Amino acid sequence: MDKSLRTPVIAGNWKMNLTPAAAKALIEEVKPLVADAGCGVVFCVPYVDIAAAAEAAAGSNIKIGAQNVHWESKGAYTGEISAEMLQAVGAEYAVIGHSERRQFFGETDVTVNLRVKAALAAGLKVILCNGELLEQRQQGITMEVVRYQTKINLAGVSASALANVIIAYEPVWAIGTGLTATPEQANEVCKGIRQLLAELYDADTAAKAVIQYGGSMNAANAADLLAQYDIDGGLIGGASLKAKDFAAIVAAASA
Residues involved in catalysis: 98, 170
Contact stretch for ligand PEP (CB under 6 A) within 20-28, 32-40, 215-223, 246-254: 215-223
Interacting stretch for ligand PEP, rule CB under 6 A, among 21-29, 62-70, 110-118, 213-221? 213-221
Judged by beta carbon, residue 90 or residue 238, the one nearer ligand PEP is 238
Backbone angles phi, psi at 29, to 5 degrees: -70, -40
DSSP string, 100-167: HHHHHH---HHHHHHHHHHHHHHT-EEEEEE---HHHHHTT-HHHHHHHHHHHHTTT--HHHHTTEEE
Q: Name residues contacting ligand PEP, limited to 6-45 (CB under 6 A).
A: 13, 15
Stretch that binds ligand PEP, among 18-26, 28-36, 102-110, 170-178 (CB under 6 A): 170-178
The verdict on 235 binding ligand PEP (CB under 6 A) reads yes
Which neighbouring-strand residues pair with 41? 10, 62
Crossing angle (nearest 10°) for helices 243-254 and 20-33: 40
Q: Which of 65, 90, 97, 215 binds ligand PEP (CB under 6 A)?
A: 215
Q: In a 10 Å sphere around its CB, with 0-12 CB exposed, 13-18 middle and 19+ buried, how is residue 156 labelled?
A: exposed
The binding track of 172-211 with respect to ligand PEP, each residue x by CB under 6 A or -, is ---xx-----------------------------------
As measured in angstroms, the least distance from the Cβ of 112 to ligand PEP is 15
CA-closest candidate to residue 24, choices 51, 54, 60, 53: 53
Binding site for ligand PEP (CB under 6 A): 13, 15, 170, 175-176, 214-217, 235-239
